[in-house]
Amino acid sequence: MPEPVSNPAAARLQPQPAASGGAFAAIDLGTNNCRLLVGTPTQAGAFRVLDSYSRVVRLGEGLANDGRLSEGAMERALAALQTCAQKLLRRPLRRLLAVTTEACRQADNGRAFVARAQAATGLPIRIISAREEAELAMESCAPLMRAQDRRALLFDIGGGSTEIAWIRSGPAGQAELIGYVSLPLGVVTLAERAGLCCYTPEGFGRVVDEVAAHLSEFDRVHSIGREMRAGGVRLMGTSGTVTTLAGVALSLPRYSRPLIDGRVLDIEAADQALRDLFQLGREGLRAHPCVGPERADFVLPGCAIYAAIRRVWPSSCVTVADRGLREGMLLRMMRQDRAPPRRAAHPQRWAAHPAP
């Protein structure tokens, strides 16, 4: 394995006592994207965004074929992480969390890559479990639940996996994870494995059947379909797939997060958006303002996963969340920071300061 990339910032990203009044930062290195979010808490229990960054790195490119992260994919991810580290040097931080998910969980060289990235950037990156990934998604999306909701079914269609979280509404707006399942099927893995099969009705249908079979097993364990028929269950989705469906359903000339996040989308409108996307074909997807060339190959595999969820758990509407692990990490850190001090229970606190 090549030597870690030299990065002067690595020497300056060292653990420090919490910076009073500093910002909170979260980094999510996924199978397809590297994302950074920096924020400060507000009195309403939410946060104000100070900085954000997102870069398509395709870390999981080729993983389905040989079980390893390729050198090119690792270099792209390292470059994005170094950009994140440089951004964090510009402000004092109160706390920082940096995680990576399915690609590094699956890859034979995933742990070695994380060690290399830590040495290159100074960032405290760690591989999180599928359960923690589901919990963080729940943490970010739980504020979208309403008082009448007894339960929520949250799906997160990622690059390397799909997480399904079955959630119970708790007191004071808190949410509890009843159960979860992580399918090793995401938009990147399906696109690479299936090639262009999702562009044909037959190929699309085969993917829907495969995913639905996995979901049906989870449904049998928790009787989710029966609970949904009884009422009081909110279907929520967080991922590029469901936000794209919302953008198309609303006929947006370009994607707009304020118009999408928290939107309750009628299921018929979502179904029509799926049909519209399918009819566009590959070149039409590349030209669509809510898709674009970088995401064109991943939209229909994601739509196939959504269609399987729709088949197993019919619902009259879906709540669309343009939020994910980064937001969940920020909210978790801020909640823990407000709690009474328990030194042994606190994760490591980090502050980034430029060298004198």
Whole-number pLDDT of residue 46: 85
Indicate the helix (H) or strand (E) that contains 338: helix 325-338
Beta-bridged to residue 238, according to DSSP, are 321
Beta strands in the chain (DSSP E): 23-29, 33-41, 47-56, 93-100, 125-127, 151-157, 162-169, 175-183, 233-238, 264-266, 317-321
Residue 267 φ then ψ, to 5°? -65, -30
- Could you tell me if 196 and 207 are in contact, meaning their C-beta atoms sit under 8 angstroms apart? no
Q: What is the C-alpha to C-alpha distance for residues 1 and 223, in angstroms, rounded to an integer?
A: 47
Q: What is the DSSP-derived secondary structure letter of residue 111?
A: H
225-281 pLDDT per residue, tens:
999 999 999 999 998 999 999 999 999 998 899 999 999 999 999 999 999 999 998
Whole-number pLDDT of residue 342: 59
Domain with CATH 3.30.420.40 in the chain: 8-128+326-345
Q: What is the C-alpha to C-alpha distance for residues 15 and 221, in angstroms, rounded to an integer?
A: 43
Which residues are within 8 A (CB) of 180 and not within 5 positions of it... i.e. 6 or more apart? Answer: 130, 131, 134, 135, 163, 164, 165, 166
Residues in the chain with pLDDT < 70?
1-20, 172-173, 194-196, 341-356
Neighbours of 251 (CB within 10 A): 9
Measured N-to-C along each axis, helices 240-249 and 296-312 cross at an angle, to the nearest 10 degrees, of 90
- Could you tell me if 37 and 26 are in contact, meaning their C-beta atoms sit under 8 angstroms apart? yes
Whole-number pLDDT of residue 338: 83
Whole-number pLDDT of residue 344: 47
Whole-number pLDDT of residue 173: 64
Residue whose pair of structure tokens reads 């299936």 in the numeric block = 194
Residues constituting the chain: 356
CATH topology of domain 140-323: Nucleotidyltransferase; domain 5 (3.30.420)
Whole-number pLDDT of residue 303: 96
Please give the single-letter amino acid code of residue 207.
V
Q: Which of 249, 224, 221, 248 is nearest to 311 (CA)?
A: 224
Indicate the helix (H) or strand (E) that contains 114: helix 110-121
Q: What is the C-alpha to C-alpha distance for residues 231 and 151, in angstroms, rounded to an integer?
A: 9
Domain with CATH 3.30.420.150 in the chain: 140-323
109-121 pLDDT per residue, tens:
999 999 999 999 9
CA distances from 286 to 43, 129, 274 (A): 42, 33, 15
Q: Starting from the edge strand earliest in sequence, which strands make up the sheet with 23-29, in order?
A: 47-56, 33-41, 23-29, 93-100, 125-127
| pTM summary value | 0.86
As a CATH number, domain 8-128+326-345 is 3.30.420.40
Q: What is the C-alpha to C-alpha distance for residues 38 and 55, in angstroms, rounded to an integer?
A: 15
Degrees to nearest 5, angle at CA 30 with 24 and 31: 175
Q: What is the C-alpha to C-alpha distance for residues 38 and 50, in angstroms, rounded to an integer?
A: 5
CA distances from 94 to 38, 47, 97, 187, 344 (A): 11, 14, 11, 34, 18
Measured N-to-C along each axis, helices 296-312 and 201-222 cross at an angle, to the nearest 10 degrees, of 40
